[in-house]
Structure 1
């Protein structure tokens, strides 16, 4: 049975879907937003690091499988706002060259069919929508912009400021991270943010993080033409007998199956789940999955090369909110290495629970008392390193017996490993200048990063899934608006590009609906 008909159905409320909902809400069009999860509860556990790091309180219990068929931790959250509910709020524009063909040490990052200037106005809109704080002119790799950030940069605390000065003394160009944090440092009475130590990786108990829920979905819900249904898991998409239109969106709600219809259907479940939904929706007209005549749905999954370096000092680090500093001097390589290496930024606060949760496996946790973890955590500075991994059709999302498999083999590692070593050298070089006296460095490579690339966009239906407006080549009324459309991943946080693209596609959809 098909329920009510809508002008637009949006599946998912993360960086893509939540932003798109906000962009379309004022149009007067009849819009349905389906979200698999509920609103994330405001509770003390939001800021409980033991619940977050050791118990994984908000992470889904759903199991995904690796290329060897073994269960793996599932790096996703099902709530209104999606993964942005627990993000650190760092919103970078891609570098201008990220949209061009880039030669890496281990391969090629492909050219985008659209360029930076095509996204620039939507970057500006997204920065305003998500209240980004930053400062232009410090980062030598930043792309051109005709306007300043909407809000001033969030200041460094003294310990981080010393590191910043030490980096400048060594000839580097540290800059402020562009942050979607609702902090007013001029008048704290007008500030939603209290500058606490439970931000990066935590839900915000006081709604001071500009995420896709708070700044996207909730403002959209003011409009009576928009309907949000939470805890609605979309099971599959149905098409017409010709296979050219999606005629039904089947969702499980409160244990019952319901089917909704819409003139336009937008999938925005995140690059992994969006690809999985298209594959699960295979039918006689689309035997390999919807929109998959190119056999590229789920392929070219990219997630970045990511590592954390924890620098342990003999001196305490009293910083409460350290996630303010970034360095891009190695983004395109260095003097004797002409290949891109990556981006580095300070991590959020490392406390004893985070330290305990990341204890090397060869050290039994029971051996070390909590006071040891606290002593270590009080003397650490965390660094987050990100490099580009390269699209590979064999790195893919696959569905078998309704289970999701991630078949992924690391690549472009030589440049990234060099980057890790070089950054440790940089930290050692500033020991005496930064008053931090780093002495021990622990590097952890992370198995998951940002989901991108599983339904790349392009002009040729033979080598892309989506057209330039993110409409599927094969199905006229089906769009994908999340990180799936990326041909390459760059080496800065991709979330702002997802948001900007959602605003860009939203503009196209409004023209189409007229």
Structure 2
């Protein structure tokens, strides 16, 4: 048996959920241990090198999972302080109000949440303050009732503004994307570069869970262990409490005890850890009396679109500022919701060649200089057959298929029509399908009934009293906007609940937090 360490709270994973919980609890007198499987992202010139980041997968985990057919594939996973948020585009949407209700789609139903938008709204406010969200109140017709954004929207560059004007002239309602950036355009702030979306930030001015969660948390009574892989969760003889977390770190085994354990390793890895921690009291996996741990995996239906004008090159640098939600809600034209469209960061030739390596580099360069990149994103519906399991050797298997979706096809068709009317000669598309591990959610759904959910509305497992899950595992539905801000808001809500439940009084009663 290895060393034994005792804390009030043990947080597993330092991404949007875990990094935020750690920061929130750092304002209390709780002793917190934050466990991260990876290490700090090195600040180096390669952070902004498309060939290194995309061509050579410099920061991506080399881990291989199995798909539904048992074929190995490399997931889009980054084991780093801050988790996958180190690579996100920092689009921080609130779910729309209707996303919390049952939503009928052309090809199925997405389930209602056990909480309402109003229940989460105060923590959305705090989440936006903590992650420095920029946006414009009233610009998006689907935006829910809310306070003004903490910061003004990031201005469009000329080519993006020209597109927005053409869209308005054609009856659409383009709006600024809600973005988490630190002091964009100011001295010492975000420089609005071309390597933000899907790149780490060399100057640490992107609002990720490292910069906005972990680093401020370390000012409090929070201990961070990097290189710490959790191997299992052990319970009491009755099975109703986690008594020990087994951690492998630098070749040594450590036993960690906590009053509460907060699991935030991502929807796939959190489910895998629960399944891998089966014992006599939990023979099908920890907290799995419902049989739903690992099931209902969702990732958005997503298609990258390159709108091209062969005679018009442009030198836009920071392109990811535009959103169109005109197809998010049912309409006379489409009686069911279709989804969200948002501009993307400039695509670099190395990124294109990572998908289609046979294209000649000069042609790719010419094409990308003339393209405007956007993403069409539709809701992925929950299915118990889309699931995470473990093989007999403990390997992660992600059995996931998107099937055919008339809804997503209609959204892409509408986006094509919209972009052609806006003056682009053609639109090239690439759909992300069955190996999509971005925006992963749904593998430990929360709800009121232990028979049909894994977690309660405050993300505590129904079966194990001191175990919480605060990554996107808890989502009953995926909605059709980015999940990050909702994970952050719920993490803050859970942290407040934990402080009240265990009497961890705040050292600093001020709400929200500073941005470094």
Which band: TM-score by shorter chain?
A: over 0.9
Equivalent residue number for residue 415 of structure 1: 407
Question: Hey, what's the Cα distance between the residues in 1 that align with 2:330 and 2:47?
Answer: 39
**308, 312, 323: which one aligns with 1:326:** 323
Contact map agreement 1:183 1:195 (CA 8 A) in 2: no
Answer yes or no: is the 8 Å Cα contact 2:420–2:426 preserved in 1: no
- Name which of 276, 293, 305 aligns with 1:280: 276
Which residue is 2:418 aligned to? 426
Structure 1 runs of 4+ aligned residues shifted over 4 Å read none
1:300 corresponds, among 296, 316, 334, to 296
**Structure 1 match to 2:205:** 208
Instruction: Give the drift of 1:441.
Output: 1.5
In structure 1, C-alpha distance between the alignment counterparts of 2:65 and 2:137, rounded to whole Å:
40
Q: Could you say what secondary structure the match of 2:16 adopts?
A: coil
CA distance in 2, matches of 1:113, 1:14: 24
Hey, what's the Cα distance between the residues in 1 that align with 2:404 and 2:236?
Answer: 43
d(CA) in 2 for partners of 1:162 and 1:404?
Answer: 46
1:412 to partner: Cα distance: 6.7
Contact kept, 8 Å, 1:106 with 1:412, in 2: the verdict is no
Q: With structure 2 as the length reference, what TM-score do the two structures score? A: 0.95
Match of 1:380 in 2: 371
- Which residue pairs with 1:14 in the alignment? 15
CA 1:63–1:184: 2 relative to 1, 3 Å: closer
Kindly indicate whether the alpha-carbon contact (under 8 Å) linking 1:472 and 1:480 is maintained by their aligned counterparts in 2: yes
Shift of residue 356, structure 1, vs aligned partner: 2.3
Provide the residue aligned with 2:384 in structure 1: 393
Normalised to the residue count of structure 1, the TM-score between the two structures is 0.95
Indicate the larger mover: 176-185 or 62-71: 176-185
**How many residues were matched structurally?**
497
Structure 1 unaligned regions, length at least 5: 432-437
Report the equivalent of 2:509. Answer: none
1:169 and 2:165 equivalent?
Answer: no
For 1:345 and 1:151, how far apart are their aligned partners in 2? 20
Q: Which runs of 5+ in 2 are unaligned?
A: 504-516
2:218 corresponds, among 216, 221, 228, to 221
Query: Does residue 198 of structure 1 match 2:187?
Result: no
Distance 1:320 1:358 in 2: 22
- SS of the residue corresponding to residue 415 of structure 2 reads helix
Give the superposition deviation at 1:57.
Answer: 1.2
Query: Is 1:463–2:452 an aligned residue pair?
Result: yes
Q: Residue 123 of structure 2: SS of its match in structure 1?
A: helix
2: CA distance, partners of 1:299 / 1:307: 24
Question: How far is the alpha carbon of 1:336 from its aligned partner?
Answer: 2.1
Q: Note if contact 1:270-1:451 (Cα within 8 Å) is conserved in structure 2.
A: yes
* Distance in 2 between residues matched to 1:171 and 1:4, nearest whole Å: 61
Aligned to 2:514: none
Pairwise CA distance, 1:385: 1.1
Question: Of residues 493, 499, 507 in structure 1, which corresponds to 2:488?
Answer: 499
Q: Any residues of structure 2 matched to 1:3-402 within 5 Å, and which?
A: 3-145=4-146, 147-185=147-185, 188-189=186-187, 191-223=188-220, 225-314=221-310, 315-359=312-356, 364-365=358-359, 368=360, 370-400=361-391, 401-402=393-394
Q: CA deviation at 1:208?
A: 0.7
Look up the SS of the partner of 1:89 in the other structure. coil
Q: Distance in 1 between matches of 2:353 and 2:274?
A: 39
Of stretches 404-413 and 497-506 in structure 1, the one that deviates more from structure 2 is 404-413
Selected match of 2:497 from 477, 486, 508: 508
SS in 1 for 2:9: strand
Secondary structure at the counterpart of residue 217 of structure 1 = helix
Note the C-alpha offset of 1:3: 1.1
The aligned counterpart of 1:476 is: 465
Task: Report the 3-state secondary structure (helix = DSSP H, G, I; strand = E; otherwise coil) of the residue aligned with 1:264.
Answer: strand
Give the Cα–Cα distance (whole angstroms) in 2 for the partners of residues 505 and 382 of structure 1.
37
- State how far apart, in whole Å, the 2-side matches of 1:419 and 1:29 are: 47
User: Deviation string for 1:145-175 (max 9, x for gaps)?
Assistant: 1x21111000000010000000000110000
Q: Structure 1: how far apart are the matches of 2:231 and 2:348? A: 40
Deviation at 1:317, TM superposition (A): 1.8
User: For 1:224-265, what per-residue CA distance to the aligned partner results, in whole angstroms no more than 9, with x for missing partners?
Assistant: x21110000001101111111111100110011111001100
SS of the aligned residue for 2:377 comes to strand
